[in-house]
Structure 1
Amino acid sequence: MGHAQVSRPMLDKSFHRKVQSRKIFTHRESFETIIAKTEEKLSKASDQSKRYNNLTAQCTSISPTQDLQNFVHILALPSQAQKVPKRAFAPPQPPGEADDTGEEIAPILRNELVFDRHSSLSLRSALESLKREAIDLEMQIRQLQDAVDTLNRTQIRGIEGQLYNKVNEMQEDLSMKKFDLHTKQLHLAAIKTQVSLTSDLYVATFNCIPLDFYYCLLPSSYEKKVFFSFSIVLLLTLSFSITKSEFCFHKFNFNCEILC
């Protein structure tokens, strides 16, 4: 009984020391692991820096002038010098004007449309594929619009029934649906523009209209890609800011209603 009365206060007073020692040993093991991994990364980084230093030294030791001189010395001279054929300059002639010189020259390209069956078929297939894609996008837009309207009505009913937690949970789905809807609408606008340009080009092909007007209006593929990429980035930025502001606004209203 006496030993228990003596040891219990000592155990009670030294128990927190025991817990602290366990924590210290645990942290020590984790610190040793972190130090080992850091040393491994440091060794890899030092090896990589040595490799890059060697590469830099080799690159700086290159002499372009000396390399060109060596290349010129290595080149073999041709045994017989070939004469380059020279041709007289032939300015473009208006259609219908005869050639008075009588010399045989290459055919001159004029401002005329050459009917090609293969090009018309490719235009037709491209136009049909664009129209099919536009129809699919319109169907997806209608489905997304119906989903957005349904979520809006459900949110209104939840607010009327004071189901604020459910309304707050549905806000993220509603924002994602709106974002998808804006993206599909932008994609549809780009497809409609391509359809109009392709249809004009297709009509010009069958009516034999000079294509200068259409070519000056038709943007290059790079310009179309840049414009579409810029439009997508702008829409993503606007949609993200709109959805984020809507979510914060609904969350603020929900918190205010709970506090009230």
Structure 2
Amino acid sequence: MKNIDTALVNRKVEQAAETAALTENKREVLLECMACTDYTTLKETDSPHSVTAFTNHAVELTGQGLPPVASICVYPSLVDAVGVALTGIPAGSPAENIGITAVCGAFPSGQTYMEVKMLECAMAIENGADEIDAVINVGAMLSGDYDLAESELAMIREEIDGDAVLKVILETGSLADPELIYRASMLAMEAGADFIKTSTGKTPISATPAAAVVMCRAIRDFERSCSRRVGIKVAGGIRTPQEAVLYRTIVAQELGEEWLTPSLFRIGASRLVDALAPRLLSETV
């Protein structure tokens, strides 16, 4: 297992925080954060009606001149509701670029049969999902059964094939140990992940700047050894523009400005859009 210098990680976070403070009110930076957001609703009260209204809100914001969010992220059973809401968007409208993300693999615990995980992914894609956010087997990682964790992800990757983007949720708050976060990151990428994602947002500790730094370091090392770029998604507890800008700054600092596009950087959030939109629609930014 790779040794992680936690003091260095903490210094990296401090450096990013200092830089972020200088840019958190810049309109272009906030627009970039908006465009990289997976606008997320994962409540037990979600329904086709509420998800339709949620999606319509995202579409309406583009009509007011804001960039489209990267995707709408929902439970797999609600993918078709998002698809219906997105149907009929005029050709050429920025909103036609909004994707659909489904959380799969027995989200958020991942505790079910492998066959069920694979079927859920396949059904979500059949119903219109462009992207799949699947949870790594956290129990396997914590117990040291890394082969099991990797083989499960490889099976999901094979099931998805090239039909959808695969974002693997590491649940970094549960893994806790920086070395284990690094190992899970490498394992997920080796299994075929297109993105690695911090967390489900359903645990006491979700995204943290330190975990993001470790994940970025793994992404950088993986690219150097395998010549393949993998994206990063931060999710869980990111509610304010300031928090979003901090994570954006960490990614830019550790991986480079070229990562700051929806194809390589995502922010999973439910409240962030509602915090960004009023500021971006005003002339005070």
TM-score computed with the length of structure 2 as normaliser = 0.18
Judging by fraction of residues, say which structure has more strand. Answer: 2
Judging by fraction of residues, say which structure has more helix. Answer: 1
The structure number with the bigger radius of gyration is 1
